[in-house]
Amino acid sequence: MTSRAVQYRRFGGPEVLEVVEREDPVPGEGQVRLAVRAAAVNPLDWKLRTGAMAGTDAPPEPKVPGYDVAGVVDAVGAGVTELAVGDEVLGKTTSGSYAEKAVANTNALVRKPEAISWEVAASLSVGVTTAYRALAQLGLGEGDHTGTTLIVDGASGSVGVYAVQLAVARGATVIGTASATHQDDVRALGATPVVYGEGLVERVREVAPQGVDLAFETAGKGALRDLVTLVGSPDKAITIADYTGAQELGVVFTSGGDPDDERRWLADALPRIADGRFRTTAVVTYPLAEAGKAQDDNQHGRVSGKLVLLP
């Protein structure tokens, strides 16, 4: 059997992405194959496509982009007992998610609640697990954190929205930075909104005269030094978006996590999303054939919200 997939044979701009007909991937031991219903576009996808993270002119073999996925199990590999054909799941693939069929390890998948749409389900994995991981690394893991004030830079973004809501649910007081047009969105998440940009330190101190204890930088727009100033020490801040700033200032840069932790965090967040306790980011959909446009729009910030491909 064959199905469509997006791939690239060389590194470059979005024009290197091509839609091809290929043999369906075969799940190995501990894996399942999914009939993909939706696949999210993340910055890592286009960073890998450009070759910026490689030392060669081309990948060793044609590469299908994408990790975040939602779909229906349509084949199971050896030793798989926890999932069966027909199960609806979401999580991360191993074979690339920009495709009609994709393979995933069972420990990277969770069952999709019926109340969550396919496109929203595909948009969740990276945003949710990154938020949970960063808060845990900041010392804001499970438990009551009443009395702690956290600032989330980029609070209306795909990671920030979950970090804000999770911290609020755990009792923390949260200040969220965003553009002027997203102040009401941040307020609706339970945070005190502040406009980012020049003068941030002064604006935050006005709304938080008691001070700020911890900082989470998600936007990569140059605010990390101000955040360290606010919390008083680089070990009280963390970033997922400013690697250079982290190196200069001694701030932890976090990327990637343990699959078992990520699965547990997703399982914790999904009921909150399904019943409306957690808001999700807006989703903008593209057909699979427009993967190049979706990546380009994501790279250059042309579209607000989480970008998702529909095969």
CB atoms within 10 A of CB 258: 11
Q: pLDDT at position 70, please?
A: 98
Q: pLDDT at position 79, please?
A: 96
Alpha carbon separation from 112 to 126, 135, 221, 237, 238 (Å, rounded): 15, 24, 34, 33, 30
Q: pLDDT at position 264, please?
A: 94
- Predicted TM-score of the model (pTM): 0.93
Element (DSSP H or E) covering residue 252: strand 252-253
Look up tokens 């299908």; give the residue. Answer: 64
Element (DSSP H or E) covering residue 263: helix 259-274
Task: Return the SS3 of 253.
Answer: strand
Q: Quick: pLDDT tens for 13-38.
A: 999 999 999 999 999 999 999 999 99
Please give the structure tokens belonging to residue 232.
């008083």
Q: pLDDT at position 53, please?
A: 79
HEC secondary structure over 32-85: EEEEEEEEECCHHHHHHHHCCCCCCCCCCCCECCCCEEEEEEEEECCCCCCCCC
Task: Return the SS3 of 188.
Answer: helix
For the chain, how long is the longest CA-to-CA vector? 63
Q: What domains appear along the chain, each with residue ranges and CATH number?
A: 2-115+280-310 (3.90.180.10), 127-253 (3.40.50.720)
* 41 and 295 Cβ atoms separated by less than 8 Å: yes
The CA distance from 124 to 303, in Å, is 18
Classify residue 262 as left (phi > 0), alpha (psi -120 to 50) or beta.
Answer: alpha
Flag residues of the chain having pLDDT under 70. none
Residues in a beta bridge with 239? 217, 253
* 98 and 6 Cβ atoms separated by less than 8 Å: yes
The CA distance from 167 to 156, in Å, is 14
